[in-house]
Amino acid sequence: MKLNIGCGTDYREGFINVDGSNSLARVDKVIDISSETLLTYFNKGEINYILANDIIEHHYHWEAVQIMSDFYALLVAGGQVEIRVPDAEYIIKSWRLKLDQKLNLLFGGQDISQGHDVEMDESRKKFPQFFCHKYGWTRQSMEKELQMIGFSKVITKRADTNFIAYATK
């Protein structure tokens, strides 16, 4: 079984697509991972792969660590997680980005329309709290937290203004 956590409009076939917004057209399970644990909906050790693109940064550090710990508990032995977050260090140091771009990347779009996805902008109006970034991750801080949780084979790679962390249980 594969999970796509915080799917938004990125609905993926072959995954159970989870999002906190009930205003999106295609979501398999509406779960607000800010206030509910995934362990209520799924059993420990039953998930093979977890995709968490652009969701972990929407939580305070301690919440994010708990969510990633839940990921670890849900995964089968040898299961993998893929987490994409903004690369705070790259964004701050980049001379190519204008200040307003840096602020948007670091703090999220908040309740401000981004103008390129009508469905997401409607969700943004209804659930502005899901569009705020609450912690800035670096590759080093993510690697450290994943290893402390118990993950192995932790690898990060930069992807534009984000980085992707891959880890194995």
- What confidence score (pLDDT) does residue 134 get? 95
Domain of residue 154, CATH code: 3.40.50.150
Distance CA 31, CA 28 (A): 10
**If DSSP codes are grouped into helix, strand and coil, which group holds residue 56?**
helix
**Phi-psi group of 160: left, alpha or beta (phi > 0 → left; psi -120 to 50 → alpha; rest → beta):** left
Distance CA 134, CA 49 (A): 25
Q: What are phi and psi of 126, to 5 degrees?
A: -80, -35
Residue 140, both tokens: 């080093």
- What confidence score (pLDDT) does residue 129 get? 80
Is pLDDT of 83 > 80? yes
Crossing angle of helices 61-74 and 139-149, in 10° steps, is 50
Per the structure, the count of domains in the chain is 1
**Which residues constitute the domain of residue 33?**
2-168
Average per-residue pLDDT for the chain: 93
Is pLDDT of 116 > 80? no
Position 82, amino acid = E
Q: What would the pLDDT profile of 131-140 be if each residue is shown by its tens digit? A: 889 999 999 9
Give the confidence band of 114 by pLDDT, cuts at 50, 70, 90: confident
